[in-house]
Structure 1
Amino acid sequence: MTDRTQQVLDAMKHIIDPDLGKDIVTLNFIKDVTITDAGKVAFTVELTTPACPVKEQFRTQCQQAVSALPWVTGVEVNLSAQTRRNPLQAKAPGLAKVGAIIAVSSCKGGVGKSTVAVNLAYSMAALGGSVGIFDADVYGPSLPTMVSPKQKELFQIENMIQPLQHEGVRLMSFGFVPSGNQGGAAIMRGPMVTQIINQLLTSTQWGELDYLIIDMPPGTGDIQLTLAQIIPITAALIVTTPQQLSFVDVVKGIQMFDKLNVPTIGVVENMSYFDCPDNGKRYRVFGEGARRQLVEQFGFKNTFELPIYPELSQSGDSGTPLVVRDQTHPASTSLKEIAELVVREVSILKHAGKSRPKVSYRPGDGLVLSFENGEEHLLHPATVRRNCRCALCVDEMTGEPRLRPEDVDDKVFPKAMQPMGNYAVAITWSDGHDSSIYPYDRLLALAAG
């Protein structure tokens, strides 16, 4: 390495990837540095994904940093993305070139999951990623209604099904299969459904994709579990509504994905409210509080409110997603933010790993919150128990505590602990209380006093 090449690299060491928390030189993002005798510098910034939301920011920062060197007369910054890697080459060759698989899930129907999944796919494609969407609901596929490609006939090449395409996004659904369901709901048993899903998903020649969105069927039964076992799902996004019943279902969904070792990266609260154009007032038609509970009880950092927009549902019936039809619509802006969140969280998972702390119990020391870097925090079990914020311990309407400190024995201890999602741990206590969920951030705050 020449002295000038080192100067170029050193000039960019202050540029930090906001998601991975390290500089782009240490992350080995800078490739193919060339320097002419006249002082012209060219290099490539190899991003984790072509859909990187801050790619132009990186380009500008690199150009400014290198241009500041006294001998530099010109700077050319090229952008590329890392090669997709997938462990399914032998097991499912159709998925071998898919970089990340994202499940969009809900535990009950009617929450707008498919609307979110389809618009998410097209929003991620607009960011620059190559995207596909798989409609895994065999009983009532919705993708053929929501997206209407010009080419509607499926065909095979070398025994592999070729996905349909619309506006650059690749599509597959049982509803596209000739005589598959004749536009209505299919009636068949679970094992047959699982076989169809497996065949459609793994025998489709998806080609090179940065992201494959799976529009999961609603629920947490055998079909969902089998689907998650067929392929290595990178992350899950859960769609819900504000009702308390939906909140309970979100918890079930988080628990299901936890058992499958799939991180839940965010929750979209659909139909959160309606802004009346006549009087300017905001109406919470389905109530409120579920999103706040997710933040307080599970420590979710990524929760989104998606209001009721008539145009969003209307576009779902037209065959063209709203984010394609009207990119300036407020719903399109919200969905773009969700897409950016998914892109960034997937990048963190793939390149920085899962970094949630471990919670354990040591008799004599108490609860131990330990991190990969060796950092440890000790907490008195009774203090943690007294700070439970479940519905039995805190009034959900007023926020007032129901649990009095004197009601908790100083000798209480945890009998079982189980991670809940990426950001919280569930604890069963020796006094019989089994609904405690503590975000790691709250445990850190308790440890700090």
Structure 2
Amino acid sequence: MTDDHHEHDLSPELTEALEGIAEALGRLVDPVTGMPLDETEAEIEVGYDDGTVFAGVTLGYPCGGLAGQWEEMAQEACRPLMEKAPLVGSELQFDLFFEAAGTEAPDHSETLAGVKQIIAVASGKGGVGKSTTAVNLALALVAEGARVGILDADIYGPSMPLMLGVKEGTRPEVEEQKFFVPIEAHGLKTMSLGYLMTEDTPAVWRGPMAGGALQQILGQTRWGDLDYLIVDMPPGTGDIQLTLSQKATLAGAIIVTTPQDLALLDAIKGVEMFRKVEVPVLGIVENMAIHTCSSCGHKEHIFGAGGGEKMAESYGVCMLGSLPLAMSIREQADSGNPTVAADPDSDESLIYRAMARRATAEAWLNADDGPEIEIV
């Protein structure tokens, strides 16, 4: 991490000490994956210049919200080595970086060439809060330090323009008579069929037409360079879901459900569909899991408890987290200012951020093949 010419100035004792620092960092357990860095594809760089040890860890998922925690962990792990010769009197400067792994996708159109990972947010049935979850997860990834786009692929009821507060009647610019320029909202690059339809255009689509419309807006939008493109899928497990799974190389899918038995049965169909087309399921989000009475604070599982966890366990997928049945989540989305943007420090926003980190960490681990360590 320092200039190359310093590499030749290091004494054997100093080089050995820096290797010890790298090893200490490699033993750190990532609070999101629960794994030591040595067992992941994290990059560890250690350098020395003029009394300062420079240490950097690059993770494959955005984790800006944990920078302070990582700093403490690194300083504590390296302190014993910093107190021994030849590092006595030196200080440790630690930095946390993020680099999303690219998905191998030779079949992607030129407009998707700069998109590193495409993640679908799906549900087996409607009414489980999938679109609200997709928008807040996308905003959570931005808050964690990623470049993010969101595609509203819910052909039958595109809700993204309303949720993101995009003024009615806003239309994307068209370049070269065929490429859409995404509309920016809350730091996201967004595209929705809702931008192209008027109130008078009924969304009565037959399967092949709907699949064609989705392919068109996915492949003809100039997304630019993105770490993640979140795709808000239509509810269900039909033609459109299969089309996307087959036409775009997905890094994974997130399944949104509620604790009711019926919703869970439909969510299971979603998991099975993605498995059939060999798309990894990154995890399950359980929505509306618990209600807190606004008058007395009493907590109650109105729709049942533990269903999402049991399902995650029986299918061997990650339980990303549970969200409360909170009126604020719905009201903020309906007003065009979703929870993570409207109230970034709220309990709900912190849950979304933890789920976003965990889901993208799962995608990273799926593409993993061992750590890289560099001493300079």
Q: TM-score, normalised by structure 2?
A: 0.83
Which of the residues 156, 159, 171 maps onto 1:153? Answer: 171
Change in CA separation of 1:345 and 1:352 when aligned onto 2, cut-off 3 Å:
farther
Contact 2:115 2:228 in 1 (8 A): yes
SS of aligned partner of 2:367 = helix
Alpha-carbon spacing, 1:122–1:185, altered in 2? closer, same or farther (3 Å)? farther
Report the CA distance between 1:339 and its aligned residue.
Answer: 1.6
User: Is the Cα–Cα contact under 8 Å of residues 103 and 236 in structure 1 kept in the other structure?
Assistant: yes
| Further displaced range: 330-339 or 191-200 | 330-339
Matched to 1:343, the amino acid is: T
**Which structure 1 segments of 5+ residues have no match?**
354-449
Counterpart residue identity of residue 43, structure 2? F
Instruction: After TM superposition, list the pairs within 5 Å mapping 1:128-147 onto structure 2.
Output: 128-147=145-164
Q: How many percent identity over aligned positions?
A: 35
Where in structure 2 are the equivalents of 1:49-448 lying within 5 Å?
Answer: 49-51=61-63, 54-63=66-75, 65=78, 67-72=82-87, 73-82=90-99, 84-88=101-105, 91-149=108-166, 152-158=170-176, 159-177=178-196, 180-182=197-199, 185-295=202-312, 297-352=314-369
For the 8 Å contact 1:267–1:304, the answer to whether it is kept is: yes
Q: 1:46 to 1:303 in 2, by over 3 A?
A: closer
Relative to its length, the structure with more helix (as a share) is 2
How much does 1:262 deviate? 1.3
Paired residue secondary structure (2:125): coil
Q: SS at 2:243's partner residue?
A: helix
Q: Secondary structure at the match of 1:13?
A: helix
| Other structure's SS at 1:100 match | strand
CA distance in 2, matches of 1:85, 1:149: 30
- Distance, in Å, in 1 between the alignment partners of 2:117 and 2:34 is 17
Aligned equivalent of 1:46: 58
Aligned residues: 349
Per the TM alignment, residue 209 of structure 1 is displaced from its structure 2 partner at its CA by 1.4
Give the 3 Å change call, closer, same or farther, for CA 47–5 of structure 1 in structure 2: farther
- C-alpha contact 1:135 1:173 (8 A) present in aligned 2: yes
Question: How many Å apart are 1:39 and its aligned residue?
Answer: 3.1
- Does residue 7 in structure 1 map to residue 8 in structure 2? no
Q: Retained in 1: the 8 A contact 2:259–2:287?
A: yes
Task: Give 3-state SS (helix, strand or coil) of 1:272's partner.
Answer: coil
CA distance in 1, matches of 2:185, 2:74: 35
Tell me the amino acid that sits aligned with residue 241 of structure 2: Q
Residue aligned with 2:102, SS:
coil
1:394 alignment partner in structure 2: none
How far 1:90 moved relative to its partner? Answer: 5.9
Query: In terms of Rg, which structure is larger?
Result: 1
Q: Which amino acid aligns with 2:180?
A: I
**Contact preservation (8 Å) 2:309, 2:319:** no
Measured after TM superposition, the shift of residue 9 of structure 1 is 2.5
- Residues of 2 paired with 1:25 and 1:300: CA distance? 20
- Matched to 2:170, the amino acid is K
Distance in 2 of aligned mates of 1:26 and 1:270: 30
Amino acid at match of 1:307: P
Aligned to 1:434: none
Q: 1:61 to 1:328 in 2, by over 3 A?
A: closer
Moved over 6 A (4+): none
Amino acid aligned to 2:328:
E
Q: Could you tell which deviates more after superposition, 292-301 or 338-347?
A: 292-301
Aligned partners of 1:44 and 1:77 also within 8 Å: yes
Residue deviations 1:20-69 (CA, integer Å, cap 9, x gap):
834459956134x5433x43333543332343654444444445526445
**Relative contact order: is structure 1 or structure 2 higher (C-alpha 8 Å, sep ≥ 6)?**
2
SS of structure 1 residue aligned to 2:271? helix
The answer on whether the counterparts of 1:86 and 1:95 sit within 8 Å (CA) in structure 2 is: no
* Cα distance in 2 between the residues matched to 1:270 and 1:61: 32
**1:35 matched residue in structure 2:** 48
